[in-house]
Structure formats: structure tokens, C-alpha cells
Structure 1
Amino acid sequence: MSVTEAPPLGELRALAPLHARAQGIPAARCRAVLSRIRTAYGDDADSWPAVWNRAGDALAARGHHLDAARHYALARFPSVDGPARERAQRLCVRSFDRWRATRPGIGRLEVEAPSGGGRFAAWTAGLSRQAPRPLILVCGGIVSVKEQWAPLLARAAALGTALAVTELPGVGENTLPYDTAAPAMIGALLDRLADSADVRRTHAIALSFGGHLALRAALEDRRLVGVSTVGAPVRHFFLDHDWRTGLPTTTAHTLRRLTGRPPAELGEWALTADELARLRDLPVTYVAALRDDIVPLSDAAALAADPAARRRFLVVDDEHGAPAHLARVRPLLLGSALRDLRVHPVRSAALCAVAGALRTRRGRVRT
């Protein structure tokens, strides 16, 4: 795919502060880095990946490995398309790995696809062979790397659950193909965790396209006892041609890079009426934004159509990802997970501490 088909620098500049704030990069720091960028792609010294990589290098040299990982995550944004962004992806993982080595209890797991078609990785916390805990599985969307979940991993003990954070196929370290068979990766991950977590009680906090993956996985894997999501495409995103023509360039471009197909050719990804009926008994918490320009409100309505279905909805006047309402959204997602997993007693102070740590990473995240 040529650079001319890719998101322009202006769109990346507009999105960068939102992703930077979501990862805890100060606004002034983000503006300083952006001021040195002249081109969106390539390996020139003033290109997007080169400038963000240098910022990450400087932090890594001073031993600030988590901050370095956050800058490398911006360097590879929105997806890996060449050597400079490949370097950023590699160093993002390496810097995060060095940070987590200083945090007891955060582990790494690598999973090979049963078919041999690729591999993916997960960062884990709260695992125990002696006393397996129910599992919260976390996954972002099409531009979200697993390393952004550091605050949640660092506070796993407060939740009283096991945690595993991973990525969609084609994102970060995940080399699986992003196709209709992709939801099987969730089952493969649960299989690997079966001796150190109570995977028979797994709740997925999965955002945007991660939510779609989790809902599809739940059709076949009854170990998923609940899904919490924000702005997940369900049905109409994949079927409404007029809606798709208005997608942001970053979303359309990245989705095509990951799937190898334009969004218009993903119609079979839509959940059918029969599949939605099969999910009737699955508790689903869905946050919808009135001004979402990526996922239509009709997708939330598709989940709500059956009055007997076990659904919880929060609709906010916001954009994709509900960035202005994170103080409500993140405790809602965590609380829904703990309730569905029947983790008792839920200490409100502990939950607030975890949600508060996540709220320090404010911003709009286009997943």
C-alpha cells in the first residue's frame, strides 16, 4: 500500500495528543516532539517514527523504560509499515519488558496458534498454580498495543483476579492473520493459562474491534462469562456502506492493512440475528458514544434489540472511546468484570485505586 493511501500527517498530528495523554505523556512533551516532525513516513531524521524513536531512545538511556515504551508506541503508530516503525515496535516491547522486570508478579506468555499460522504474546499478572483466580482478559483495538495497560497490570493484586493483556491479530507482536478465524486466539490463550488461572470464569474487557473479537469468541467458548466494551462494531459497521465511506482515514487504512481487505469486503464479520440470539445469556456491558465517527450507534442498538438479553448500557455525549467520560467508563468496565466473575468482596477502595491509576492516562483513543 502506498504512502498516498495512508493517513496524512495532519490527521496523525491531530490524533497524537489524544494517544499521548492516554499513555501518560504530558501535553507539553507531546507538542515538543510533534514540532520536530515534518513527514509522516519513511526513515528521514524528521519523519514521524524517527523523531518519536529518538525521544524514546533518550528516555531509555536514562533508565526510564516505561516512559520510553510509551514514546516507542507513538513511533509505531498507527501501524508498522517500514523499518523505522518496526524498530519502534521492537523497542516498545523491550523497554516494557525491562520495566516489568522491576515489578514482581508481571509475567510474559507467548502462544503459538494451534494451526501454526502465527504467534502472539500477553503480559500477565495475578497468576497462581496453587490458588487460581478468575481471569480478566484485556484487549484493545486495531491501533492499541498491549503495553499501554501497564497501570492495570501493576495493580492486579487490588482486583483479586488474574490478568492477561494482549493484542488483536496484526497489532504489536501478534502475527496471526486477522480474519474470521481470529477469535480462536482467545481460546488458545485460555488453554495456556488453564493451570494458573480459573479460566472457566473469564471476563473480557475488550475495546472497539477487540470487543467484536471477544463477542465472536464467546459464541464458541463458554469460558467467557462476560464482555465489557466501548464502541465495539457488532453488525451495522460491517454492512452499512454509507457509514463506511465516512470513516476516518486512519481507521480505514489500518483496518485494511491488518485484514488485507477494504472495510467494504468485511460483511461476513457482522454478527447475524441468530448469533446475537445465541449471545442472549452472555452479560455484555457496552459504552456507546453519541458522536462516534467510527462505530455507529446502531451497533449498540443491535445488542439491545432483544429485551431478554443480559445487557448493561452507558450512552454518553462523546466521541469514539468516550475519552471525556473515562472517570465513569473505566470503573464501570472493571466493576462489570468483577461482578460477572463473582469476585467477593469487592473492595471499593481497591477498585477506586485501580480506576484512578487508569484515569491518569486521559485522552481520546481511536482504536
Structure 2
Amino acid sequence: MDHLDELKEFARLHARGQGITERQVAAVLPRITNDEPGHPASWARVWTAEADRLATAGRPLDACRRYALARFPHHGDEVRARAQANCVRTFDDWRRRRGIGRLLLDHPDGVVVCWTAGLDVRRRRPLVVVSGGIVSVKEQWAPLLPKLARLGYAAVATEMPGVGENTLRYGPDSWRLLPFLLNRLERRADVRRTSVLGLSFSGHMALRAAADDPRIRGVHTVGAPVAGFFTDPLWWPRVPGITVETLRRLTGSADEEALRLLLRRFPLGPDTLGAVRVPVGYVVSSRDEIIPAGDPRLLAAALPRARFKEFDDVHGSPAHLTAVRAWLVRSLLRTRFAAAAEPGPVRPVAVRAVESAVAVPANGSPDGPLPPV
């Protein structure tokens, strides 16, 4: 599959996750004939034009979702950089009357930005940190935040290093971003009861952080790499080119050889996994084209109490978004009840209440489904 075909295939998956219908995607993709920066029929220019149209029509969230596709998979050229800025701008327009705040944090290595809900210095609630993978920006997740706040959480949506507005560089120690966030949020949330909804490569960061930081009480992930992705020479040639190129950019690697040398420092070994003593929920995709099947098996062997749910799907299980969402909600609830020392199984009434709160109409409403990773 060549680069443009990969872009279009990933777009179909990520569009679905943002509530953009297949029909709407099908109306745009034929107009894209290349990925040459600045070309009128290029990926970024065509999606930007579609987003501009919706922004002018007074539909900022719909525009935001198209800008997110225009900057996909990363904002590595001028047109994509403008799309990234417009993605943030249009979401900012939409969120102001919906109880979503903006938090900019100065980090020793750059800037970290979060969308927030439920933070309160007077009533500190259990914290949920939401982060996508290497290609998804926080604006794809942030519409979920007010719903989490209504369920009694403090919630923040942020990004991996190098993604979106995060200016840090992605590397083997990037997991330290999570303790940094908890330190900065401790006056406005009960960070001692933190759950991380970290998808794909954010899930890898969350697992590593949970081995070191006891404030993280649960990790809930979809398709997180563990070890084999980073080291298996037989698997690597099968990894999509978009994934490889995005990782190269986020890590600042000069070429693919330098990237692979760096990735050898990422695997979670037995000692690290042995230190993860919190509930872990992991969604497995049986046809995952990015994460080798050995990675969830390794996690299952190292963490006998971890819970797994498998779907017959590709990375992120985009064709099963409703079921993935419901399963992650149950995983999150189990952690909350365990942290509150409430014995027994997850209460069905509570599960139904949460699922109802995060339900998404089939027409792709403003509070769209959890996106693929």
C-alpha cells in the first residue's frame, strides 16, 4: 500500500471515530490525488477546504474534526501546521459554553496543553487522564470531558510528546509526563486516585508510569505496545509506513535506522511489568496491523489479574467503537470502586448510568464516540 492509499485508509478509520460518516468521507477522498504540500488536490489542502467551509457555516466542532484530518498524521508541513492551529481554534470556539477549560503547563522540556473539566480546588475528585496515540490530538477526545465530570471525575485530555500542541520530544522517558501532570494537578484533583485512559502508545507510557507512581490506580488501553513492537525484527517490516514516519518525526530520529536503535530502549521488561500492581484493562484487536499479537500475550503472562477484551478488527477496533467504549467504561468503574474499597462486582446500575452518559447518537453528534488511536 502506497503512502496516499495508507492516508485514505487511516482516514476512514479516524473519521468514523470522530463521528464523520462514511458517506461524508467518500465525498471528500476522491478529490485528493496526492500528498504534495501546497498542491490544490493534496491531502491537507482538500481537508482544510472542507473544514473552512464548515467553520464559515458556524459548525466549529465539525470543522475541528476535518482540520484534525488535514493535519493527519502529524503537522510536519506548513499547510498541516495551519490545520493543526485551526483544529485548536475551532475547538476553542465550540468548548467555551460547554464547561471545558484550557490548561497550559510549562514543562522543563517544552509546553503541555490540556482540555479540562471537573477540576476544583474545593472539591477534589478522582482524576482521569485521557490521551490518544501518536496520530490523534486531544481535540478528538475532549468532548467526552464534561460527561466524565458529571460522573464525579476530574478529567483532562492531553497529548503524547510531539503530538498536537505538546512540544516535548517523544523518547524512552516520556512516561514521566504523567507524574508531571499529576504534580501540577494535585491541588485541583484527587491525583491519589488517578486512572489513565491511554490508548496505543499512550497506553505504553501509562503502564510504565504505573510501575513507578503509586498515584496511578488503573490503566485502561486499546492496542498498547509492550515489548515486541519495539524489538521484533520480523514484525517491523509489517508496520505501516505512516506509523514509522510519525514515530521518526516525534522522536527526532534522523532516519529509520536511528529510530529502530532508539526504540530498543522502550520495551517494558519483566521487572517493570512486575511492578505494575494496579488494575489493567486492555482491548486487543485480532487483526492489529501495528501491535504484534505477542505484546498482549506478554502482558497477560506478566499481569495475571489484567482484563482483556478481543475484537476481530484492526488497530483500535474502529468497527466496534460502541462495544469498546462500553468495555472501557466498565474497566474504569472497576478501578473507581476498587479504589474506594467497595467490595463486590461492578454494579450494573452504575454501569448503565455511565454508558448512558457517554452514549452517542448514530448521526455523529457533537459528543462523538471514542476515536481510534
TM-score > 0.5 by shorter chain: yes
Contact 2:288–2:314 (CA under 8 A) maintained in structure 1: yes
How big is the shift at 1:108? 0.8
Equivalent position of 1:340 in the other structure: 335
Equivalent position of 2:10 in the other structure: 15
How big is the shift at 1:178? 0.3
Q: Does 1:129 align with 2:132?
A: no
How big is the shift at 1:188? 1.4
Q: Distance in 1 between matches of 2:351 and 2:134?
A: 32
Q: Distance in 1 between matches of 2:217 and 2:370?
A: 29
State the AA in 2 paired with 1:154: P
Equivalent position of 2:264 in the other structure: 267
State the AA in 2 paired with 1:125: A
Q: Does 1:86 align with 2:81?
A: yes
Q: Does 1:109 align with 2:112?
A: no
SS state of the match for residue 247, structure 2? helix
Match of 2:171 among 157, 179, 185: 179
Query: How do 1:219-238 residues align onto structure 2 when only pairs under 5 Å count?
Result: 219-238=211-230
Contact 1:323–1:363 (CA under 8 A) maintained in structure 2: no
State the AA in 2 paired with 1:338: L
Q: Which digits, 9 at most, give the CA deviation of each residue in 1:46-105, with x for residues without a partner?
A: 2111111111111111221111100100000011111100000000001001100121x2
Contact 2:15–2:21 (CA under 8 A) maintained in structure 1: yes
Q: Does 1:193 align with 2:188?
A: no
Q: Distance in 1 between matches of 2:352 and 2:298?
A: 35
SS state of the match for residue 245, structure 1? helix
Match of 2:311 among 275, 299, 316: 316
SS state of the match for residue 203, structure 1? strand
Query: How do 1:1-367 residues align onto structure 2 when only pairs under 5 Å count?
Result: 8-103=3-98, 105-113=99-107, 116-261=108-253, 262=256, 263-265=259-261, 266-279=263-276, 281-306=277-302, 309-342=304-337, 347-357=350-360, 360=364, 361=368, 365=372, 367=373
SS state of the match for residue 161, structure 2? coil
- TM-score between the two structures when normalised by the length of structure 1: 0.92
Aligned-residue sequence identity (percent) comes to 47
Q: Which digits, 9 at most, give the CA deviation of each residue in 1:266-287, with x for residues without a partner?
A: 11100111111111x1211111
Q: Distance in 2 between matches of 1:83 and 1:59?
A: 21
Q: Which digits, 9 at most, give the CA deviation of each residue in 1:4-37, with x for residues without a partner?
A: xx96212111221221111111222222222222
Q: Distance in 2 between matches of 1:199 and 1:7?
A: 44
Q: Distance in 2 between matches of 1:313 and 1:15?
A: 25
How big is the shift at 1:348? 3.4
State the AA in 2 paired with 1:227: V
Aligned length: 356
Q: Which runs of 5+ in 2 are unaligned?
A: none
How big is the shift at 1:362? 6.2
Q: Distance in 2 between matches of 1:56 and 1:76?
A: 11
Q: Distance in 1 between matches of 2:370 and 2:211?
A: 32
How big is the shift at 1:358? 8.5
Q: Distance in 2 between matches of 1:130 and 1:339?
A: 26
| Superposed CA RMSD | 2.0
Contact 1:146–1:166 (CA under 8 A) maintained in structure 2: yes
State the AA in 2 paired with 1:148: Q
Q: Which runs of 5+ in 1 are unaligned?
A: 1-5
Contact 2:212–2:275 (CA under 8 A) maintained in structure 1: no
Contact 1:241–1:264 (CA under 8 A) maintained in structure 2: no
Residues 1:354 and 1:314: Cα distance change in structure 2 (over 3 Å)? same
SS state of the match for residue 248, structure 2? helix
Q: Distance in 1 between matches of 2:155 and 2:144?
A: 9
Q: Distance in 1 between matches of 2:224 and 2:76?
A: 25
